[in-house]
A and B are shown apart, each in its own frame.
Chain A
Amino acid sequence: MFYREAGQYKTSYSADMAVFPIWQDRIGIAVILALAFIGVPLIGNDFFTTTVMIPFLVFSLAAIGLNILTGYTGLISLGTAAFMGVGAYACYKMTTIFPNVNIIVLILVSGLFSAAIGVLFGLPSLRIKGFYLAVATLAAQFFLQWAFVRVPWLFNYNASGAIEVPLRSVFGIPITGATASPETRYFVCLVLVVVLTWFASNIVHGRLGRSWMAVRDMDIAAELMGIKLLNAKLLAFAVSSFYCGVAGAMMIFLWYGTAEAADVFSIRLSFTVLFMIIIGGLGSLIGSFFGAAFIASLPTIMKFGLPAIGIPLSGATAEHVTFMLLGALIILFLIVEPHGLARLWQIGKQKLRTWPFPY
């Protein structure tokens, strides 16, 4: 009823392998992009942009990063926050050393530093598997978190012990720092996320992505089929950390403005991102967006939504209830739909396709 794909024949291999094989999907994605680029800045106020949209975009990117590692390659990582932190601190150091370089370029380049650190901590993944690896990534988390506090060179010997985001302009428009308008920061985030998602989509649908999925499903079998485990796993760590690093740099430079040192990149953040991909859907890019949207908006809903409909909750209680809710939701999703919101989305689309006369 709502849409049919009848008459849309796939006549070539590339049409068959397309990410959006039917034109309704393409229209849908165009509408979403148009909404994001035109609708949100027109309708949304500053509050909406800064507390909902920018966190959502940043978390989406981090979730995509973790999803590449955990969802696609099957390597559990609890060090996401640390890799995000590497991105943020690398960006800070670089913009201090090269103040005139375009900050957007620096945000992207800082991902490379994160990727390098990710590869370093990914090396044990060749020998250590499963839960053992999850614990090994905690080494990265705690070591880097320690470094962010104890190595003053990283935060330029600031008295506050944290990143203080300087004012940086591109073509005369302030992008980071106190005077940057929420719309500008939102646009920068959006462009980065859209471009990087497009890259990620191409990677995971390509040869590399398939070798990752083979490694996830059974790494010995993948090795026997000629996939080089060393390359596949380390590349997964590199790409994943790159995304996390960019997300971390965006988080500090375009969202927070100032980092409270180790507080931001603590293990809690790692868990939050992990929850996003569990709830959103492991091994699904769109799931990363769903999960990020869900979890990033949960505290805001608890804080502002519930009092609005007449349920008063103090700040602390709201936080505790959010924790309980998160925990319960994780278990619920794992029981009811281990593939997360992404699978629900697919089911919904299928239902709509056959709507009045389901078969």
Chain B
Amino acid sequence: MDDIFTKVREGNAMHVRVWLDNTENDLNQGDDHRFSLLHWAAREGQTKIVEMLIQRGARINATNMGDDTALHLACSHGHRDIVGMLLHHKANINAINEHGNTPLHYACFWNHDQIAEDLVNNGALVAMANKSDETPLDKAKPKVAKILTERAGSLGQDLHKIPFKDRSWLGYKTRSRDALLSRHAGINIEQLKLQGHMATTHSGEVWRGLWQGNDIVAKVLNLRECTVRNSRDFQEEFPRLRIFNHQNILPVLACCNQPPNLVVISQFMQYGSLYNVLHGETGIVVDQNQCLRFAIDIARGMEFLHTLEPLIPNMYLTSKHVMIDEDLTARINMGDYGFSFHEKGKLYSPGWMAPEALQKKPEEINMRAADMWSFAIVLYELETREVPFADLTPMEIGMKVALEGLRITIPPGISSHILRLLKICMNEDPGKRPRFDMIIPILEK
């Protein structure tokens, strides 16, 4: 398993595919120098694997310790097809590494003329200076430099030198993750450096802490008493929550099973939940586009969860169960899974649930269709910035939605596309609601 990096370098596509299918494997993990799988595949020219990784949601702009992105590596090693693919998937074309070099610097330096041209055609700045105050043009052969200058000029680029600016303090770079994260399933509570109490929720006590140098949150489940049976069920259920192979799923990293304490450990997300971002005061500007991106992220995450067989039960979609990562990716938080023995018979967010899910047992209904209803409510939230049924208590909401036909009221002024989507996702007949794989293309449009 340690050798997945080698397999990627060798181009063993078969092996990589099998590895990626294992939910416990994190495709965004990095090696000792924080090279991700995508870095290696791009460097070694493993086109098929690059394609596979992108398809599975690898982070395009992840950086290694030298702040190189996969695009830097593909450019220096002259893999034109890969450069094309990365650009197509919105790789940051002017990303700078620790030397202040952009991918174009490398393409020019290593004389990959065609790649350099492609880059400029796609908006790479020819006048960007690195730390040594050299632009890509300074690196290129005079003949190539001339062609590139002309091309840039014709595209309307300002050819005045752009001085190097150290932006690393902004902290917008996303390093590949520590590969160790996904290797530990059960850990000792002593190993967690719990630093501060964050919150007391209905489901448990939430603490912030450090584990192997990573910021984590630890949720100590709220139980009246922890029986041997609870502990056993916990042990059986939590491994399914360690889903590292999808970027829109926030996995449970590990658990401590030490009765009376059952602890669920997840990565710390500084922006908190989508609920928090939308209705709290985080200072994040969420414009129309960002909303749509959140919606697509959530739909992708749900689509992935719906491919699992059997479905992970008691995983209810609400904006409280979606976390926002530092790069503003929305990720469904597996830490909000409801353990079978935990909070039995209590639903704290009925406003997001389909009427049939409020009435019948999960095994009696189509849970995937019920999730689609919940997605519609989140979509409504994204569009209106309103908490659904904000003025009612959960018991009132549940009774009224389940028995009295209460539904959200969609305010005027909402875009007609979204309105139509809301209507089909919230079809009263669960059988007529679409699947997530069907609505993702609609959202992307």
Question: Do A and B interact?
Answer: no
Interface set of B (CB-CB < 8 Å, partner A): none
Interface set of A (CB-CB < 8 Å, partner B): none
